[in-house]
Amino acid sequence: MVRQRSAKPSSAGSIPAVASIFTPPDFNFVSVVTSHGWYRLAPFRWSAEERVLRRNDMEISHDGKALRVVGNADREQIARMFQLHVDIGEFIVLTRSSAPHAWVEEHGFGRLLCAPTLFEDILKIILTTNVTWSQTVKMAANLVDVCGRKGAFPTPRDIVRFTPEELKERCRLGYRATAIHRLATGIADRSIDLDALSDPKQSTEELFESYLTLPGIGPYGAAHLLAMYGRHDFIAVDTEFRRFVRDTYHKGRKVSDATMLRRYAKWGRWKYLAYWAELWGER
């Protein structure tokens, strides 16, 4: 057992590194963290009171100018998580002339919280398909508990240690276990190359098509993945989008997807973010 009692960090683990990572002027920490549901999925933990976002191996806060990261502060991963590389300037300009988006600029809305890795984002998107949110939360927690190491989100190698049946049974993944196992296997044996798939030199349309080749990822998931990449040309059409547009603009009447999407055409490469802002502002 550990007999360490002092406030000093245990000698077994290195002293936690502290890093400061500067953020763009239009960056709003709380807005990004709560931009969508990811902060409620393991291993993320969010304390609204402390304004601290935690994962198994890091603790992140913001002092107004920079992110303060205690623990494993891989800069590339931090930048990915908070979309620090995404320039939302053009979107902000557009919101100034749209009444439903009048609050966006002041609130600092525009960046979406991502996982440190594309793999984690893909899995979590699969976990959101055709289930209730409460089940998504449970499946993510199960994946971390059953397959992850020391509270971390499982890597492809961690997943491949289990059979699809074991994943289904122990993580309660349902039929999603097949796609998740195939994805992990493909990455582990290099038949799926996520870096090549998400090559930023590709056009958004090409990226979309690339994501569609991934097991468990259809048009909804591909659009969602693009958004995590800061590209909002495609709206992830799902029951939530249909409900919102139907109730907000069509008095609850049924309309085609094409009609719904037409409403956001004027937003150009910011369609999904524009819709997401409206949905977000509704709360």
Partner DNA sequence: GTCCAGGTCGCGC
Partner DNA sequence: GCGCGACATGGA
In the complex, the residues that contact DNA under the rule CB under 7 A are: 36-37, 128-135, 138, 168-169, 172-175, 178-179, 212, 214-222, 224, 236, 238-241, 276
CB nearer DNA, residue 3 or residue 254: 254
Min. distance of Cβ 68 from DNA in angstroms? 27
Kindly tell me the burial class for residue 196, based on how many C-beta atoms sit within 10 Å of its own C-beta (0-12, 13-18, 19 or more).
exposed
Rg of the chain (C-alpha set):
20
55 strand-pairing partners: 58
CA distances, 233 to each of 32, 63, 123, 221, 281 (Å): 20, 32, 22, 14, 20
CB nearer DNA, residue 10 or residue 213: 213
CB 249 within 8 A of CB 279: no
Min. distance of Cβ 14 from DNA in angstroms? 36
47 strand-pairing partners: 52
CB nearer DNA, residue 59 or residue 233: 233
CB nearer DNA, residue 88 or residue 126: 126
CB 277 within 8 A of CB 92: no
Min. distance of Cβ 28 from DNA in angstroms? 18
Min. distance of Cβ 273 from DNA in angstroms? 11
CA angle 42, 32, 37 (to 5 degrees): 40
Min. distance of Cβ 146 from DNA in angstroms? 13
CB nearer DNA, residue 32 or residue 179: 179
